[in-house]
Structures are given as structure tokens and as C-alpha cells.
Chain A
Amino acid sequence: MNVRPGRVIAYLFLIVLGIVGAAPFLYLAVLSTKKRIEILAQVPPTLNFNWTQVTKNYNEVLFSQGMLSFTLNSTIVVGAATAAAIVIGTPAAYAFSRLRFRHSERLASTILSMRFMPPIAVAIPLFLMVKAVGLQDSYPGLILPYIAFSLPLVVWIMIGFFDEIPNEIDEAALIDGCTRVGVLWHVMLPIVRPGLVTAALFGALFIWNEFLVALYVIDSRAFQTISLGAATLVSAQRPIDWNIAATVGVVTVIPILLFSLFVQRYIVRGLTAGAVK
């Protein structure tokens, strides 16, 4: 193995990149261990940790301020919405991939274009709709709009996955007397399972951070999601308690960190599904 100066510079750059990339997160983590006053006094913050203070900050954020229950709320809402979007979206994607019907192309691109719709254009009507059926300040009040938000993405990703399965498989099953719906249920779903995981993760990812509709629909703290809870925590108090704000930051990053550790390859797959071959 020959060591060239270019290679050395590349590795140095990689290390710098890693440090610069991680620094904001580490900074947040360090701030979350401090007293309010220490953040203002120690510039840059020192690395001697006072565990009573750490416990105090995290207790405050997770329990007193309710970040733990916000995380639970997000999980419930996003989980339910994603599951529903998969159930509704997968058959549609299969139809778009396999069946030819009038305007199918236009219909597919219309659905996909809904991914580009600005939430601000539908937030008020959605809020009024949810309110009209008495579902404001409830899980269903968020789940119903969120299904619509993740559906286009689910359909899109699943079309990509169905397109990769050769048509001969369908033909064989159809000749054996299977119906279209039967083909989807008995033959396609087992094959396309990795696709379902990708679509679900991706659909979930896009509503996990949703903020605007939640802002309209949810009033009480009992149903706040992570983004909403974080927003009220850091803007309600003025001046901000930065140690608490930093702790909120760390608490929101942890699920994302776990998520990306375990499913990074699916995320990459989803981002590039179909579109960038």
C-alpha cells in the first residue's frame, strides 16, 4: 500500500468533517449538563459534569415538562398514520405499477405532486374539518391529516418497488386462477416486504417532524407531539433557559439517532427508490 500525500490530506479532511459535523450535537449535549448560569459564565463550556445537575435537567425536561409523553404522543400518532397509509397506499401503488387504465399516468403524477403541496395551504381547512367533527385536541385529529401527508410518499416508493418485480410472476399467478387482489395479497406482499419497510420508515419520517397542522389542531399539552412540545418549551419562556432548551434538543435527537443507526440503509434506499437509477 503506497501512502500518497493526497490520501493523507483526504483523511485529514475526513477527520475535520467528522469533528465539524459532530460538534453541534456534542455542544448541545454538554450544554444539557449545565446550570443555567454556567452556560452564560463558561465560554466555552467546560467538560466537568455535575451529575446531580444532569439528573435535574433531564428530570425537568422528560417528566415535569412532559417531553417523554410528547415523544409517546408522536409515536402513537405517527405509528397509526403510517400503518394506515401503508394499508391504503400499497394497493394503489400496485395498481399504478401493473394495471393500465385511463389517465393512469396523470393520476399517478397528480398524487405524487401532492408531496409538493405547502402544508400552509391546507392547514386551516384541515383544522376546520377536524374541528367540525369534534376531533380537535385528540389523536385522530392529527392521524387523519397525517395519513394524507404520507400517502403520496408511500405510493411513490411502493410503485418503485413493484416496478422492480417482473411481470411474469403476476402472469403466472393470474393464469393459475388468482385474482388481481389475490395476486397482491398472496404473491406480491411477501416479495415486496423490504419495500414496505422502506415506505413505512419514510412515510413516518416525513410526519415525525410535522409542526404546522399540529399547531392548529392540538391545544392541550396532553396531546402535543415532539415538534410542538419542543416549540412551546423553547418559546414560552423568555428569556430561554438554555440548559433546558439544550436538554430538549438532546431528547429529540436521541430517537432520530437510534432510528438512523438501525435503519440507515432503508433511508438511503427510500430516498433513491425508483427515481435515481
Chain B
Amino acid sequence: MSLQNTPAAATKYVFGTRDEPGRATWLLLGPCLLYLVVFSIYPLFHSLRLSLTDLTAATGTGNFIGLENYRALLVDPQFWNAAKNSAIMMFFSVAIQVVLGVALALFFNLHLRGSWIVRGILLLPMLMTPIVVGVMWRALLNPDWGLVNWAIKQVGLTPPDWLGSVGMSMVTVVMVDCWQWTPFVFIIVFARLQALSQDVFEAAQVDGAGPFVTFRRITLPMLMPAIVFAAVFRAVDAFRSFDLIYGLSYGGPARSTTTLAFFSFQNGFQFQNYGYAAAVAYMMLIILALGTTLMLKFVQIRPGTSR
């Protein structure tokens, strides 16, 4: 972040120091920082401390047991199962949503008459309560009377056992996640597409570039920042996905859709095994921190410095 060298930053620097050294800064920043320290940073440290104890609701007080929870976790096949499920969910959700989202953005860029109505409809899912999304799709996919199975049978095919079989359940969860969140990728890429200057496209046309070459060589590179931005957001959210699982499959059948967040929740809320639950949550946090730090090495998402 070499912002200090840019002219804009230099102006800021002069004005930040000449008029008020520190007081205004702390007056403006203080409440926000204090709040986040108390309600975000402290709970994180508390979680870390919890993860080093054997606290359960039954024992009441936890004893310090060092890294025992983490050791147990690394040899717990259920932890690895949850980690695998989280990874699968993250990878496929993001991949599918990016492809579909970009395709939708290009399609809506045709500016067909009346397309704003359809756009409004398509944006609805991402505003919905994930719990309700889960219940809604349980109805749509109901093996006995659901609309989707009825439609599939109408065209003479046999519908799969969407949520009842170990092989299919994760596919279904990914599918529903894509239904809910493709709009997010779509709208971000679409907004970027609207902001692109038309000159380049005209120039490409003059030079005789076909639609495919134009997309591959001009549109896609210029959309890349938006695509990466959306993908990072979706990756993080898909990785920590919990609500949708709770409403749709409750981790089953046979733990085939138990993600890390759901696994931690089961240990904490259901089995009241707080120490172990905190350790699982902390592993997620470590993975997320490593992952996002790595990603942010390549992507700049801070507003103001992104120009």
C-alpha cells in the first residue's frame, strides 16, 4: 500500500497534521475502535481462550488443557469430513456462481426492454432469510409433491433423491446456494459493465474484432476486478455457510452436508461442548485469515485505494 507517495495522500497528510495532531483523530475514530475492541476483538480472544479449555455446559468451569482440543480435532474424522464439505461447497458454489453471474451480466447488458423487471425478480433471493430459503427449497424438492419433481416427471425423467441421499445432498445444497447468491455476482459484474467506457469496444469493432475475441481480450480483463471482488466475498460466505444448511438439510443425511460452521454449532449448541466448538471455530478463523490474506495480496478491495 504505497499510498503515502501519491499526490492525493500528500494533501491529506498535510491537512491531517497541520490542523489537529491527534485529538480530532481520536475523537472521530475512538468510539468505533473501542466498540469493535469490546464486541469483536475481545470475543475473538475469549474464543481462543475457550478453545484451550475443556469447558462444557455440564462441568460449568473449564480446565486449561492447552492444545488438547486442537490435537483431538486433527484426528477427528468428523472434523475432516466437515472440512472437506466446506471446501467442496466453497469451490463449486463460487465456480458456478461466477460463470452464471458473468453470463447473466452480459445478457442483461443487451438492455432488452422490460429487463429491469426480471432483474428485480432475480435479485430477490439474495435478500431472503437463508432459513426460509432452505424451507422453500425443501418444499420445491419434496419427493412426494414438490413442484420440481413434478416438472421432471412431466418430461419423463426420474428425479433424484435431492436431500435424502448421501451422494446427492451436497449437490442440492450447492444448487440452492447458487440460486440464492448468483444474483450477488451478477449485480456486481453488471454494475462494472455499466461503468465501462464504450470507446474501447468501438475501437475493437473498427479493428474488426469478432464478439468472441472482444469478450476474451477486452471485456473479460476489464471485468476482472469486479469478478475477483465478488468471488472473494462469495468464497468467504460459502466457506462459513451455516444458516442455509440449518434450514435445508440440517447437516444430513449421514453428515454429508455438515460444514465446519455447522459442525462447530453442533458441538457448541447441541452437545454444549464449548471448548471443542471454539477450537473448530478457531480453525475456521485461521483458514479464513490465511485465505483472505493470501487473496488480498493479489486483490485490493479497500475503497479509495482501488482506483
Q: Which residues of A contact B (CB under 8 A)?
A: 10-11, 13-14, 17-18, 21-25, 27-28, 31, 39-40, 42-44, 88-89, 91-92, 94-101, 105, 107-109, 111-114, 116-126, 128-129, 144-145, 147-148, 151-152, 155-157, 159-160, 163, 167, 170-171, 174, 179-181, 184, 205, 208-209, 211-212, 215-216, 226-227, 230-231, 234-235, 240, 242, 245-246, 248-249, 252-253, 256-257, 259-261, 264, 267-268, 271-277
Say which residue of A14, A151, A163, A209 sits within 8 Å of B130 (CB atoms). A209
- Given A91-B31, A234-B135, the answer on whether A160 and B15 have CB atoms closer than 8 Å is no
Give the distance to chain B from A41, nearest Cβ to Cβ, in Å: 8
Q: Within residues 5 to 21 of chain B, which ones have a CB less than 8 A from any CB in chain A?
A: 8-9, 11-13, 15-17, 19-20
Kindly state the separation between the CA atoms of A261 and B116 in the bound complex, as whole angstroms: 11
Stretch from B64-72, B87-95, B144-152, B160-168 that touches the partner: B144-152
Closest to A105 in B: B1
CB distance from A105 to the nearest CB of B (A): 5
Q: Given that A91-B32, A216-B269, A246-B139 are known contacts, is A274 also in contact with B145, CB under 8 Å in the complex? A: no
Which residues of B come within 8 Å of A, CB atoms?
Answer: 1, 3-4, 8-9, 11-13, 15-17, 19-20, 22, 24-25, 27-29, 31-33, 35-36, 39-40, 42-44, 46-47, 50, 107, 110, 112, 114-115, 117-118, 120-124, 127-132, 135-137, 139-140, 142, 144-145, 147, 150, 179, 184, 187-188, 191-192, 195, 225-226, 229, 236, 240, 242-243, 246-247, 250, 261, 264-265, 268-269, 274, 277-278, 281-282, 284-285, 288, 292, 296, 301-307
A128 to B50 Cα, complex, angstroms: 11
Chain A residues contacting B9 (CB-CB under 8 Å) are 100
Q: Would B274 and A124 count as touching, CB distance under 8 A?
A: yes
Q: Are B44 and A121 in contact, with the CB atoms below 8 A?
A: yes
Q: Please measure, in the bound complex, the distance between the C-alpha atom of A100 and the C-alpha atom of B13, giving whole angstroms.
A: 5
- Of A44, A159, A275, most buried by chain B (CB within 10 Å of CB) is A275
Of the candidates B15, B110, B121, which one forms a contact with A171 in the assembled complex, judged by CB atoms under 8 Å apart? B15
Residue on B nearest A259 in the bound complex, by CB: B127
**How many A-B residue pairs lie within 8 Å, measured between CB atoms?**
287
